[in-house]
Chains A and B, each alone.
Chain A
Amino acid sequence: MSVTTETSAGAAAGSDAIVDLKTMWIGIAVLNIFYLFIRIYEQIFGWRAGLDSFAPEFQTYWLTMLWTEIPLELVAGLGLAGYLWKTRDRNVDAVSPREELRRHVVLLQWLTVYSVAIYWGASFFTEQDGTWHMTVIRDTDFTPSHIIEFYLSYPIYSIMGVGSFFYAKTRIPFFAHGYSLAFLIVAIGPFMIIPNVGLNEWGHTFWFMEELFVAPLHWGFVFFGWMALGVFGVVLQILAGVKRLLGKDGVAALIG
């Protein structure tokens, strides 16, 4: 009998289910709807209130957002890491194979939401920053595009990256012992883009009026962006875990 012809291709229903994607879909939907709202906000208030950082409306519509988002992100990041640590499995080595497998699938969902956040931060809002700064002469480090890119989208993907790491570290035996080098790269590498903003803005105090996107000043972002490739190693480690849990007979049954 071919496995592809069997019914109930999804996981078993109920709380015993190994695969339950509901939380992931909610996370992706929240993220996308939130960023859609942010993009509309940019459309309205970028040109109307974002051209002159000395204007009162800039304070109202942009700096208020900056000073609101930064503390919120700090609280959210620390709160999430704290929650995952506080609720950790204190006897992780005694976890049943079925539960361990479920946690592997949950980790994949964490990483999927993380990669959606990476898309918005590293792709969408970063290249968007290029066209805004080549079009509008800037008079501040905290431009409308920077307030979204550097201080909103980068912290959000960092929170998701650190959350994924903490989830694995506190709930999956393989990741609980020692530190996966690839996972450290995934969690810390793209996060390092945020401190690198310091270099970028310091450099732009010298070169303020022009925006050459390929300028060497920007290559710090490139170096840390490469580290998103750490997902290669993490995926291999997860697959090795699933294969071990399936066992030889399980693998043979699936591909036989």
Chain B
Amino acid sequence: MSTSKSGGAIGPFHSVAEAAGCVKTSDWLILTLLFLAVLGGYHIHFMLTAGDWDFWVDWKDRRMWPTVIPILGVTFAAAAQAFLWENFRLPFGATFAVLGLLIGEWINRYVNFWGWTYFPISLVFPSALVVPALWLDIILLLSGSYVITAVVGALGWGLLFYPNNWPAIAAFHQATEQHGQLMSLADLIGLHFVRTSMPEYIRMVERGTLRTFGKDVVPVAAFFSGFVSMLVYFLWWFVGKWYSTTKVITKI
């Protein structure tokens, strides 16, 4: 047993125990600050690029919602994977980022959407993303390759989004007739709780012919979403690597 292992001074530490304690505390501080910083960056990105589809149950339609959310959501998941996998071989970047986003969203929906402006949680619950994130991490872990993760993982990220949300959303897509007007329960809830500055006419909803004749809107939207998610994954893998820069510049 070496001197250091027996508890003697190592480097600037008085003992191995002190070094271990310091390193462990530093690890927790780093995990905490990374989690909260990624949460903040991811949340402001997500709410301002995909937020309206995520805020309201009547925006969670069969075409725009499964298209927009995965494409804008895969960004920070890819960046976090690039950082944690490339530098530490930790295979949980996507889940790490998505958990941050979901915690931020759930706190907000309860404390502010419900607590301040009095919308029911059944109108404002966020989209589920954990299953697609786990898929992304598992593919990276098994393949060890960002290319395979982009192609297989990001495609699955897009395809899994709707099934992952189906248990929560199915009931809201039930049809209901109100005074001769056919609509979904989600629409009915949305119409009952008026959003004064978010009128119906600026809502972006599914429309077109495929929904009428083919009724295959969701699989097509998910497939398209997976395709774009692949491209966005590639881009954001390198964004994550770029933000991991240790470059020092001499002048500003």
Contact = CB atoms under 8 A, between A and B. Distances in A.
B193 to A, nearest CB: 9
A120 to B, nearest CB: 9
A75 interface: no
Contacts, number: 290
Interface in A147-193: 177-182, 184-185, 190
Contact of A10 (B6, B25, B44): B25
Nearest to A228: B41
A254 to B, nearest CB: 6
B75 to A, nearest CB: 8
A72 interface: no
Nearest to B194: A135
A12 B12 contact: no
A231 B33 contact: yes
Contacts of B107: 123-124
Given A182-B245, A211-B198, A228-B40, A8 B11 contact: no
A46 to B, nearest CB: 7
B19 A246 contact: yes
B244 A132 contact: no
B16 A43 contact: no
A230 interface: yes
Given A119-B104, A221-B48, A111 B22 contact: no
B52 interface: yes
Contacts of B112: 124, 127-128, 131-132
Interface in A223-243: 225-233, 235-240, 242
Interface stretch (B114-122, B130-138, B170-178): B114-122
Contacts of B51: 127, 130, 213-214
A130 B126 CA distance: 14
A97 B11 CA distance: 8
Contacts of B251: 179
SS class of chain B's interface: helix, strand, loop or mixed? helix
A18 interface: yes
B26 interface: yes
Interface string A177-218: 111111011000010000000000000000001111110001
B21 to A, nearest CB: 4
B248 A178 contact: yes
B30 A108 contact: yes
B180 interface: no
B17 A8 contact: yes
Contacts of A124: 104, 107-108, 111-112
A231 B35 CA distance: 10
Contacts of B247: 180-182, 233
A118 interface: yes
A60 to B, nearest CB: 20
Given A178-B248, A225-B45, A232 B243 contact: yes
Contacts of A42: 116
Contacts of B35: 115
* Most chain B CB neighbours (cut-off 10 Å) among A7, A137, A235, A239: A235
Nearest to A101: B12
B10 interface: yes
A92 B248 CA distance: 18
A242 B40 CA distance: 27
Nearest to A138: B197
A222 B21 contact: no
A178 B40 contact: no
A142 to B, nearest CB: 16
A1 interface: yes
A130 B52 CA distance: 9
B78 to A, nearest CB: 11
Interface string A1-32: 10110111111100000110100000000000
Interface of A: 1, 3-4, 6-12, 18-19, 21, 39, 42-43, 46, 96-98, 100-101, 104-105, 108-109, 111-112, 114-116, 118-119, 121-124, 126-128, 130-138, 177-182, 184-185, 190, 209-214, 218-219, 221-222, 225-233, 235-240, 242, 245-247, 249-250, 252-254, 256
Interface of B: 1-2, 4-7, 10-26, 29-30, 32-41, 43-45, 47-53, 55, 76, 79, 83, 87, 104-105, 107-108, 111-113, 115-117, 119, 124, 195-199, 202, 239-240, 243-252
Given A135-B197, A179-B252, 12 more contacts: A105-B25, A108-B33, A111-B33, A118-B41, A131-B116, A179-B248, A210-B199, A229-B37, A229-B38, A230-B243, A246-B12, A254-B16
Q: Top 8 nearest A-B pairs by Cβ distance?
A: A228-B41, A122-B40, A115-B36, A253-B4, A250-B11, A118-B40, A225-B44, A98-B12
